[in-house]
């Protein structure tokens, strides 16, 4: 998810500053610079072993793993005859019937990409915008059966999230207002039905979820509460909670109906996160440098969630909320919401520097805990160095999978429950980011994308469960 001022730009301008270690951390231990080399070697042994170069020059995977191309921008065709759109991003998997399932695939298109989401009648929110979503029907082996437009005319569809009622929430990472080519305001969340094409007609922005640079969402299956990340700076972005109104039951079509109802733009409660260590307010998540750091959470109501005159994040002072430079991926799992902060630099106003944090919000204790932190990457050209985690998904085999969007080599990176980090895939084609990791319902296939030039992959192999030390259980 590339924002206007990307981490790559910061590094190339020399803003990274001093060297740190490439990977640090677990909830049990943290490796310091003096033991970085040893830690790297140890961590590299976790997971499924080293990735092996791909003769086709696309995707390096551990021995025994393989991939197939599900869709390719400009090459495969939509059901309506146009080419698959560019910039595949956040992706959700939905189990179907009769051996067929559906991937809902975001397209982070801002307007300059070669292949837009076709503005089909009835499915288009704003003809001036070129992003949206496609639904890819796949069989049990991950083979693409067909692909079609599900939402068009949205802008910069970044990530999103799966709902407990089997729909996809696609997020616009923008604050674009109507004007010029754009006929409507943008910066909203839209709901996409993976199976019912008629349900996606006449797209409705879920204004009650706020208008800001949305990145991703995670939905509590017990309460239908929606947690949202914001990828923004000047000032840094916020972490939000939307609490549904009392009568909300969490069913298909209910969000859209809520948005279209009386006072739909302000339905439920939208709040921003504010963290504390004891009585000390935490102004920025980069203050945390040790895995296991835990903060108490309070929530502050958003004054104007549609940002009529002032961006939502600018409606708060720094002593009211907790910010982070680059809030990215989100995923519900293990009874709470995981979310990612991709990096921080003192040059952008952060307190400390890092190349990635993975946080876990526990709604029962109203706390967030730093699960893993990546130190500033001293050499992004090295295959065992990782930085800039972005999209996240919880693995059925333990731990999480992160899509890397950093400098230099790009990987899918696994993090075990013990905090050990291991490579799962390496982009052999270019330095484009990975996006949209998501497992099939049976755990046999990991779907993931290379955003540019635009590939959707189905990855299979001898997964097995990772043991307590992070090693592959044969």
pLDDT attached to residue 471: 79
What's the distance, CA 426 to chain centroid? 18
What distance in Å separates the CA atoms of residue 362 and residue 16, rounded to the nearest whole number? 32
| Token representation of residue 134 | 């496609």
Q: How many helices (H) and strands (E) does the chain have?
A: 3, 27
Tens-place pLDDT, residues 131-142: 999 999 999 999
pLDDT attached to residue 466: 74
pLDDT attached to residue 306: 98
| List of long-range contacts for 111-117, beta carbons under 8 Å, 24+ apart | 111/155, 111/181, 113/85, 113/86, 113/87, 114/73, 114/74, 114/86, 115/73, 115/74, 115/82, 115/83, 115/84, 115/85, 115/86, 115/454, 116/85, 116/86, 117/85, 117/149, 117/151, 117/152, 117/153, 117/154
pLDDT attached to residue 381: 87
pLDDT attached to residue 17: 28
What distance in Å separates the CA atoms of residue 468 and residue 232, rounded to the nearest whole number? 36
Q: Of the candidates 289, 291, 295, which has an alpha carbon nearest to the alpha carbon of residue 275?
A: 295
What distance in Å separates the CA atoms of residue 21 and residue 116, rounded to the nearest whole number? 40
Residue 277 neighbours by CB under 8 Å, 6+ apart: 295, 296
What distance in Å separates the CA atoms of residue 160 and residue 166, rounded to the nearest whole number? 13
What distance in Å separates the CA atoms of residue 405 and residue 387, rounded to the nearest whole number? 7
Contact 305, 315 (CB under 8 A): no
What's the distance, CA 85 to chain centroid? 19
Q: Of the candidates 279, 274, 352, which has an alpha carbon nearest to the alpha carbon of residue 313?
A: 274
What distance in Å separates the CA atoms of residue 212 and residue 394, rounded to the nearest whole number? 26
Tens-place pLDDT, residues 175-188: 999 999 999 999 99
Contact 133, 159 (CB under 8 A): no
The backbone torsions φ and ψ at residue 36, rounded to the nearest 5 degrees and listed phi first, read: -60, -45
What b/e readout covers 15-33, taking b as 16+ CB neighbours within 10 angstroms?
Answer: ebeeebbbbbbbbeebbee
Tens place of pLDDT for every residue, the chain, 474 residues? 544 444 434 333 333 322 222 333 333 322 222 222 223 333 446 899 999 999 999 999 999 999 999 999 999 999 999 999 999 999 999 999 999 999 999 999 999 999 999 999 999 999 999 999 999 999 999 999 999 999 999 999 999 999 999 999 999 999 999 999 999 999 999 999 999 999 999 999 999 999 999 999 999 999 999 999 999 999 999 999 999 999 999 999 999 999 999 999 999 999 999 999 999 999 999 999 999 999 999 999 999 999 999 999 999 999 999 999 999 999 999 999 999 999 999 999 999 999 999 999 999 999 999 999 999 999 998 888 899 999 999 999 999 999 999 999 999 999 998 888 999 999 999 999 999 999 999 999 999 999 999 999 999 999 987 766 777 876
Lookup result for tokens 């990457």: 377
Count of CB atoms situated within 10 Å of the CB of 99: 10
| Token representation of residue 39 | 């830690």
Q: Which helix (H) or strand (E) holds 43?
A: helix 36-44
What distance in Å separates the CA atoms of residue 147 and residue 133, rounded to the nearest whole number? 10
What's the distance, CA 45 to chain centroid? 26
Contact 179, 157 (CB under 8 A): no
Per DSSP, the residues of 155-199 read: S-EEEEEE-TTS-EEEEEB--PPSBTTB-S----EEEE-SS-GGG
What distance in Å separates the CA atoms of residue 27 and residue 30, rounded to the nearest whole number? 8
Tens-place pLDDT, residues 379-397: 998 888 899 999 999 999 9
pLDDT attached to residue 25: 36
Sheet holding 411-415, edge to edge: 51-52, 59-62, 421-427, 411-415, 400-404, 389-394
What distance in Å separates the CA atoms of residue 289 and residue 308, rounded to the nearest whole number? 36
User: Would you give the DSSP letter of residue 33?
Assistant: G
What distance in Å separates the CA atoms of residue 359 and residue 337, rounded to the nearest whole number? 8
What distance in Å separates the CA atoms of residue 69 and residue 142, rounded to the nearest whole number? 9
pLDDT attached to residue 474: 63
């Amino acid at each position: 998810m590339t924002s206007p001022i990307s981490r790559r730009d910061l590094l190339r301008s020399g803003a990274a500053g001093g060297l740190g270690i490439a990977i640090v951390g677990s909830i049990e231990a943290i490796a310091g610079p003096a033991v970085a080399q040893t830690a790297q070697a140890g961590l590299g042994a976790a997971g499924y072993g080293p990735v092996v170069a791909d003769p086709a020059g696309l995707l390096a995977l551990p021995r025994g793993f393989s991939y197939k191309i599900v869709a390719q921008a400009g090459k495969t065709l939509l059901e309506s005859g146009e080419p698959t759109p560019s910039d595949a991003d956040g992706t959700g998997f939905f189990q179907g019937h009769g051996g067929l399932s559906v991937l809902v695939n975001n397209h982070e298109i801002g307007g300059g990409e070669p292949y837009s989401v076709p503005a089909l009648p009835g499915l288009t929110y704003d003809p001036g915008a070129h992003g949206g979503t496609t639904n890819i029907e796949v069989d049990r082996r991950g083979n693409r059966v067909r692909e079609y437009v599900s939402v068009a005319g949205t802008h910069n569809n970044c990530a999103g999230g799966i709902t407990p009622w089997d729909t996809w929430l696609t997020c616009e990472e923008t604050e674009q207002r109507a004007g010029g080519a754009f006929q409507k305001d943008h910066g909203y969340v839209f709901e996409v039905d993976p199976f019912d094409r008629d349900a996606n007609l006449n797209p409705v922005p879920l204004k009650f979820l706020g208008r800001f640079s949305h990145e991703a969402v995670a939905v509590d299956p017990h309460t239908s509460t929606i947690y949202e990340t914001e990828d923004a700076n000047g000032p840094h972005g916020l972490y939000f909670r939307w609490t549904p109104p009392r009568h909300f039951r969490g069913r298909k079509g209910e969000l859209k109906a809520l948005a279209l109802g009386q006072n739909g733009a302000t339905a439920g409660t939208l709040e921003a996160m504010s963290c504390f260590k004891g009585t000390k307010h935490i102004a920025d998540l980069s203050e945390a440098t040790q895995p296991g750091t835990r903060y108490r959470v309070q929530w502050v109501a958003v004054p104007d969630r549609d940002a009529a005159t002032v961006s939502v994040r600018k409606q708060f002072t720094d002593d009211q909320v907790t910010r982070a430079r680059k809030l990215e991926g989100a995923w519900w799992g293990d009874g709470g919401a995981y979310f990612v902060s991709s990096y921080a630099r003192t040059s952008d106003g952060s307190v400390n520097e890092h190349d990635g944090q993975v946080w876990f919000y526990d709604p029962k204790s109203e706390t967030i805990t730093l699960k893993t932190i990546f130190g500033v990457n001293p050499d992004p050209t090295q295959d065992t160095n990782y930085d800039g985690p972005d999209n996240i998904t919880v693995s059925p085999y333990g731990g999480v999978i992160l899509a890397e969007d950093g400098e230099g080599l790009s990987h899918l990176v696994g993090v075990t429950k013990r905090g050990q980090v291991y490579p799962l895939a390496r982009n052999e084609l270019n330095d484009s980011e990975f996006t949209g990791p998501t497992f099939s319902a049976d755990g046999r296939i990991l779907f993931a994308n290379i955003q540019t030039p635009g590939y959707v992959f189905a990855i299979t192999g001898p997964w097995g469960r990772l043991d307590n030390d992070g090693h592959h259980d044969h």
